């Protein structure tokens, strides 16, 4: 159980690194005219993700969950793959990546990297990790609880983000149309 506690600690450190990147990117985005949406659901998201880590440890320690190698090792590989996908998303979006819903009007949508295949690849990574991380050490109740809560939260979050992205995309299209008109009439 000690090594699992260390794994959860490493994931927590990774989350803190994400928050540092997000904070820096938020400042940059706001300085470039960004608009933030979804502030009301953000605290619930932070609570849910913190609860995932705490639940993993609490269930393993309190319920005496044992490591089941034929489940635990593959789930650890899935956790590592989810982290890879998450950081691929972060690298692809660069300064535009954030834990919050922040869009800069007029900027085109990113369609390369993992966004070439999935509209919300970071959320796929979160969903997969939310199942795999608890199951590394047989914390199945945490996996189920997180999945149910995360599904509800992502329903709200994706609707909010899609609306914000549509608004930003409309601004980009209007700007592009105005630029074409200026070239033709100018």
- State the pLDDT at residue 28: 97
Quote the domain boundaries for residue 108.
Answer: 2-185
Looking at residue 41, the DSSP 8-state letter turns out to be: T
Task: Report how far apart the first and last C-alpha atoms of the chain are (Å, whole number).
Answer: 70
Comparing CA positions, the residue from 4, 143, 16, 142 lying closest to residue 76 is 4
Domain containing residue 74: CATH number: 1.20.120.1630
Per-residue model confidence as pLDDT tens digits over 103-159: 999 888 899 999 999 999 999 999 999 999 999 999 999 999 999 999 999 999 999
Q: Count of domains in the chain?
A: 1
pTM, two decimal places:
0.88
Say if CB 125 and CB 89 are below 8 A apart.
Answer: yes
**pLDDT digits 0-9 by tens, 54-106:** 999 999 999 999 999 999 999 999 999 999 999 999 999 999 999 999 999 98
Rg (CA), the chain: 19
């Amino acid at each position: 159980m000690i090594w699992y506690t260390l794994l959860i600690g490493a994931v927590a450190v990774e989350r803190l690194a994400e928050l540092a990147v997000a904070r820096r990117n938020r400042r940059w985005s706001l300085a470039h005219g960004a608009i933030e949406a979804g502030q009301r659901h953000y605290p619930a998201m932070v609570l849910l993700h913190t609860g995932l880590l705490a639940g993993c440890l609490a269930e393993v320690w309190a319920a005496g969950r044992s490591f089941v190698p034929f489940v635990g090792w593959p789930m650890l590989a899935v956790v590592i793959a989810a982290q890879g996908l998450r950081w691929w998303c972060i690298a692809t979006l660069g300064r535009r990546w954030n834990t919050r819903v922040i869009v800069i009007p007029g900027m085109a949508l990113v369609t390369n990297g993992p966004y070439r295949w999935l509209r919300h690849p970071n959320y796929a990574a979160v969903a997969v990790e939310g199942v795999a991380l608890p199951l590394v050490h047989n914390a199945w109740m945490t996996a189920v609880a997180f999945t149910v809560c995360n599904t509800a939260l992502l329903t709200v979050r994706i609707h909010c983000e899609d609306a914000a992205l549509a608004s930003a995309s409309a601004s980009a299209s209007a700007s592009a149309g105005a630029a074409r008109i200026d070239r033709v009439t100018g």
